[in-house]
């Protein structure tokens, strides 16, 4: 069996993150989204084909031609605007595992479909079937799939992880244009269901979806909340107080008088200087400096970033090569206590969170004593003046 991973989309809902980083390479708890799934499938397949387009060179440079000695090849998606456009150019005479890179799935659920005797799809029961691709079921097998059904047919949502025979390639190639002038994914799946037993496998474990920037914080929290023991691979100086568990990777240092509360992940080459308060599901990546007298909570701080003294970072995403000036403070809670709304694709979206702080993007510098309203965005290469308020 071979595997195809669909990783070509631009994913504008994650702007500004996806301005410079393709979504498959967003890091969650020590690995990229793509690596989390590759880790769970590579032993079971003879080859992995990654469908690429947007920022494709970054993905190729990350993985080259193998993952853990399992061969990787690349297929570039065409300009046709439908999800499986690139698969039209793929043909081989084996069963195939097809999955999107949007979500991180549990190892147990991926192995369940890999080891399935026939063919099928991972599904999940949902409360509102009208917003999903829904399978109609009979005795645990699919009867048909309907995109966003207007009336109730069933409540099992398609999770975009499939096992097919090679027949799926000829079916995809023969799909006619629909009434809305698109090649419909559902048409190919329904044609396959007509001739094959197609098992619907409800997932046993939760899966992680990253649709919006703030979902990165939830994804880190999911893994950190499951951390049952510490992994310490480098240096912790005297008088560091650690409550619960941490992961401290190679060449990372925790200086004296650091206080860590709840589970925290510190990546390679990072130095946490004295008198730091790290708490509640914080992740700090490669080659960062967290200087003295800072408080950081529930945040993701990416590579080569410096956080200067006396700063407060809560519920935030700080990207690569950012310099946080001395005394940087931002609000993460509205005075009226309502959920924070975020501008996504020119539309205000409810984040369903009462506390969100700020996204600071690549190569940004903040002046000393800068301050911010809740959930603001500093775009690539921007800067603030001393004492500036980001409204």
Instruction: Say if pTM beats, i.e. exceeds, 0.75.
Output: yes
At residue 44, the pLDDT reads 92
Under 8 Å between Cβ of 283 and 265: yes
At residue 85, the pLDDT reads 67
pLDDT tens string for the chain (391 positions)?
999 998 888 777 777 777 888 888 988 988 899 999 899 999 999 999 998 888 888 999 999 888 889 989 898 877 766 666 677 778 888 899 998 877 888 889 999 999 998 999 999 988 887 777 888 888 899 888 888 877 777 788 888 899 999 888 888 877 777 666 666 778 888 889 988 999 999 998 877 888 888 888 889 998 998 888 899 988 899 999 998 899 999 999 999 999 999 899 999 999 999 999 998 899 999 999 999 999 999 999 999 999 999 998 888 889 889 999 999 988 777 767 677 777 766 677 766 776 777 888 788 999 999 888 877 888 788 888 999 898 7
If one counts every other C-beta atom within 10 angstroms of the C-beta of residue 264, the result is 27
Q: Concatenated DSSP letters for 95-150?
A: -EEEEESSEE--HHHHHHHHT-SSEEEEEEE-S-GGGSEEEEEETTEEEEEEES-S
**What are the tokens at 88?**
């039209």
pLDDT digits (tens, 9 = 90+) for 329-369: 887 777 676 777 777 666 777 667 767 778 887 889 999 99
Burial 145-172 (b: 16+ CB within 10 A, else e): bbeebeeebbbbbbbbbbbbeeebbebb
Q: Residue 35 contacts by C-beta under 8 Å, 6 or more apart in sequence?
A: 67
- What Rg do the C-alpha atoms of the chain give, in angstroms? 23
Distance, CA of 155 to chain centre = 25
Distance, CA of 100 to chain centre = 12
At residue 354, the pLDDT reads 67
Q: Residue 365 contacts by C-beta under 8 Å, 6 or more apart in sequence?
A: 322, 323, 325, 383, 384
Catalytic hit among 44, 289, 309, 335? 309
Q: Residue 289 contacts by C-beta under 8 Å, 6 or more apart in sequence?
A: 270, 271, 273, 305, 306, 307
**What are the tokens at 89?**
């150019």
309 is catalytic: yes
Coarse DSSP helix, strand, coil percentages of the chain, rounded to the nearest 5 percent? 20, 35, 45
**What are the tokens at 226?**
């499951």
> Using CA atoms in the order 68, 69, 73, 74, what is the torsion angle rounded to 10 degrees?
20
Query: Which domains are seen in the chain, by residue range?
Result: 2-209 (3.90.550.10), 215-390 (2.160.10.10)
User: In 3D, which of 221, 310, 318 has the Cα closest to residue 264?
Assistant: 221
Distance, CA of 307 to chain centre = 24
At residue 346, the pLDDT reads 66
Q: β-strand 235-236 against 282-284: which pairing, if any?
A: unpaired
**What are the tokens at 160?**
């975009």
At residue 376, the pLDDT reads 81
At residue 38, the pLDDT reads 92
pLDDT digits (tens, 9 = 90+) for 204-235: 887 788 888 888 888 999 899 888 889 998 88
User: In 3D, which of 136, 103, 102, 106 has the Cα closest to residue 41?
Assistant: 106
């Amino acid at each position: 069996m071979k595997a195809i991973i669909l990783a070509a989309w631009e994913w504008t809902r994650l702007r500004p993150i996806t301005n410079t980083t393709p979504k498959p390479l967003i890091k969650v708890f020590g690995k990229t989204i793509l690596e989390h799934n590759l880790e769970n499938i590579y032993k079971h397949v003879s080859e992995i084909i990654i469908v690429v387009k947007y920022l494709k060179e970054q993905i190729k440079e990350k993985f080259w031609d193998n993952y853990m000695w399992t061969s990787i090849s690349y297929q570039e998606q065409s300009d046709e605007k439908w999800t499986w456009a690139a698969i039209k150019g793929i043909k081989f005479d084996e069963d195939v595992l097809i999955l999107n890179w949007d979500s991180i799935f549990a190892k147990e659920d991926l192995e369940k479909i890999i080891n399935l005797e026939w063919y099928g799809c991972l599904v999940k029961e949902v409360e509102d079937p009208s917003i999903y691709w829904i399978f109609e079921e009979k005795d645990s097998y699919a009867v048909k799939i309907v995109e966003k059904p207007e009336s109730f047919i069933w409540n099992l949502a398609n999770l975009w992880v499939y096992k097919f025979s090679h027949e799926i390639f000829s079916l995809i190639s023969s799909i006619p244009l629909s009434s809305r002038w698109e090649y419909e994914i559902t048409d190919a799946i329904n044609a396959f269901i007509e001739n094959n037993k197609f098992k619907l496998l409800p997932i046993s474990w939760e899966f992680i979806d990253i649709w919006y920037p703030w979902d990165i914080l939830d994804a880190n929290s999911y893994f950190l909340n499951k951390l049952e023991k510490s992994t310490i691979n480098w240096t912790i100086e005297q008088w560091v107080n650690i409550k619960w568990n941490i992961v401290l990777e190679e060449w990372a240092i925790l200086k004296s008088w650091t206080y860590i509360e709840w589970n925290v992940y510190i990546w390679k080459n990072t130095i946490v200087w004295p008198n730091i308060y790290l708490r509640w599901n914080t992740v700090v990546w490669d080659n960062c400096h967290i200087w003295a007298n800072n408080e950081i909570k529930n945040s993701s701080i990416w590579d080569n970033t410096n956080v200067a003294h006396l700063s407060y970072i809560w519920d935030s995403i700080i990207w690569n090569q950012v310099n946080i000036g001395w005394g940087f403070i931002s609000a993460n809670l509205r005075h009226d206590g309502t959920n924070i709304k975020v501008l996504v694709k020119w539309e205000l979206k409810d984040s369903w969170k009462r506390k969100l702080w700020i996204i600071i993007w690549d190569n940004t510098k903040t002046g000393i004593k800068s301050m911010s309203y809740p959930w603001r965005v500093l775009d690539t290469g921007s800067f603030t003046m001393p004492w500036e308020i980001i409204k």
